[in-house]
Amino acid sequence: MTSAIEVQDLVVERGKRRVLHGLTCMIPRGSVTGLLGPSGSGKTTLMRAVVGVQVVRSGSIMVLGEPAGAAPLRRKVGYLTQAPSVYADLTVRENARYFAALSGYDAATAERAVADVGLADAASQLVATLSGGQRSRASLACAILGEPELLVLDEPTVGQDPVLRDELWKQFHDLAGKGTTILVSSHVMDEAGRCERLLLIREGALIADDTPAAVRESAGTDDLDEAFLRLIRAQEVTA
């Protein structure tokens, strides 16, 4: 099987609002796929559905050949939420070791994940005393433990400086090179160009599912920001 995620006619309602409107997409294995769209367009909702923590109204989501959220996926899927999900009163290392132990990984695996996110020097620092960017990297370390088969990353580079962002993107590609499928959301269009595939989402519907090059070509511009705007306008005209 070549697809890591298959979403079919997904409808999600949150509160009284329909947030995803029959969304269908397929994400290939071993790829870095960017999920881009305006604030409130449904990116987090789609990611939550993929990791199996979102109640869905209808449709289906298969992840690594299993229904999203199925027990065998627990060790195979890493999820980085937007809000840091580490314990403030533990050190970076203690957090990594704790989450490693929960999944049956050893201390060396925890140490490697901490180093991979550039926090080796802050490993013995309490999370409460970290900067915002460091804190989200501490969460990222816990998400990448054991190199899961699928990594779902909700805005992992927010609050990071350009050098770190660059390093994190290189690391995502390294992981993908080793076979990990990465679904990563971002608001930042210059990050879209770093993805192998793009899902552009607006108001809960897909407006593009293609490579960055194909998105640029179909919109007739090299600028992905402009391409996104043109695709939105084209969709408004046909709607």
Residues that bind ligand ATP in the complex, under the rule CB under 6 A = 14-15, 17, 19, 37, 39-45, 187
- Between 40 and 177, name the residue whose CB sits nearer to ligand ATP: 40
- Between 12 and 96, name the residue whose CB sits nearer to ligand ATP: 12
- Between 17 and 178, name the residue whose CB sits nearer to ligand ATP: 17
CB of 183 to ligand ATP, least distance (A): 13
In 3-state terms, what secondary structure has residue 109? helix
CB of 201 to ligand ATP, least distance (A): 7
- Between 41 and 160, name the residue whose CB sits nearer to ligand ATP: 41
CB of 80 to ligand ATP, least distance (A): 13
CB of 147 to ligand ATP, least distance (A): 25
Phi-psi region of 179 (alpha: psi -120 to 50; beta: other; left: phi over 0): left
